[in-house]
């Protein structure tokens, strides 16, 4: 069902028993979380190298150094952390560093974003999730972030107890845009893909949803994707997840 067919609905998730959310850019401010992390990472590498490496780090990650905006199709938008780390090492080697030096520098500078400082929710998440659960919609998260920082973030946001399934980049399954995380969540919760909605801000989120054959694909405009980028992949575009609440 396309955007025009659903635009007038009072409940965007009508007919869906499960909502699978992306995390960064959908639940929390992607640009605040990750551009700040890239800046700190570049500083850590500079401290280890003695010279600025921003000209390597920012393009490789897909971040605008002036605005801090993350490019929709850049590496940071939907790449697992371990792959980002490997790609950064490769970029430093291509820049002229010896492999052992590049690996040592990245090992020293690499860290997870601090959810206490950087995780800014894009809606009242506990209120939204509570209302969805009360309406009979189960809640899960599929993220390109690793499990340990994701669990810390959900705990900080006060929604850990409301999330019934969590698929992360280091769980051992193929990552987005592979459909494996969606299939795993649906099997785990015993809810068919046809009665599942996927909500995300990036093309990789929506491609994952399409590949999995879910019943509803929703793009939100709070992250890396704009309407032009997301519309070809989505059934529905919303300004943010706050608009998932059913109208009274």
Structural domains in the chain, sorted by start? 3-29+119-244 (3.40.50.1000), 31-116 (no CATH)
Peptide bond between residue 177 and the one before it cis (omega within 30 degrees of 0): yes
CA dist 147 and 58 (Å) reads: 25
Q: What pLDDT, on a 0 to 100 scale, did the predictor assign at position 80? A: 80
- pTM score, two decimals? 0.84
How distant, in Å, are the alpha carbons of 92, 103, 107, 214, 221 from that of 96?
Answer: 7, 13, 18, 45, 38
* pLDDT for residue 189 is more than 60: yes
Work out the percent of the chain whose per-residue pLDDT is above 90: 74
CA dist 198 and 135 (Å) reads: 17
Residues shown for the chain: 248
Sign of the C-alpha dihedral computed for residues 74, 209, 178 and 107 taken in this order: positive
Q: Residue 7's pLDDT band (boundaries 50, 70, 90)?
A: very low
């Amino acid at each position: 069902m396309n955007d025009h067919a659903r635009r007038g609905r009072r409940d965007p998730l009508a007919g869906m028993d499960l909502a699978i959310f992306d995390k960064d850019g959908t639940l929390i401010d992607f640009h605040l979380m990750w551009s700040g992390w890239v800046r700190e990472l570049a500083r850590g590498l500079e401290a280890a190298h003695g010279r600025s490496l921003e000209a390597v780090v920012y393009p490789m990650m897909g971040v605008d150094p002036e605005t801090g905006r993350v490019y929709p199709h850049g590496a940071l938008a939907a790449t697992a952390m371990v792959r980002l780390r490997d790609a950064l090492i490769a970029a430093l080697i291509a820049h002229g560093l010896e492999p052992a030096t590049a690996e040592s520098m990245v090992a020293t500078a690499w860290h997870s974003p601090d959810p206490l400082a950087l995780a800014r929710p894009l809606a009242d998440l506990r209120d939204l999730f509570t209302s969805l659960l009360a309406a009979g919609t189960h809640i899960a998260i599929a993220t390109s972030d690793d499990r340990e920082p994701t669990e810390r973030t959900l705990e900080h946001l006060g929604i850990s107890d409301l999330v019934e399934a969590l698929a992360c980049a280091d769980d051992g399954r193929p990552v987005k845009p592979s459909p494996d995380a969606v299939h795993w969540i649906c099997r785990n919760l015993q809810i068919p893909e046809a009665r599942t909605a996927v909500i995300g801000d990036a093309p990789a989120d929506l491609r994952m949803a399409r590949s999995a054959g879910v019943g509803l694909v929703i793009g939100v405009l709070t992250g890396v994707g704009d309407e032009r980028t997301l519309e070809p992949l989505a059934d529905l575009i919303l300004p943010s997840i706050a608009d998932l609440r059913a109208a009274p």
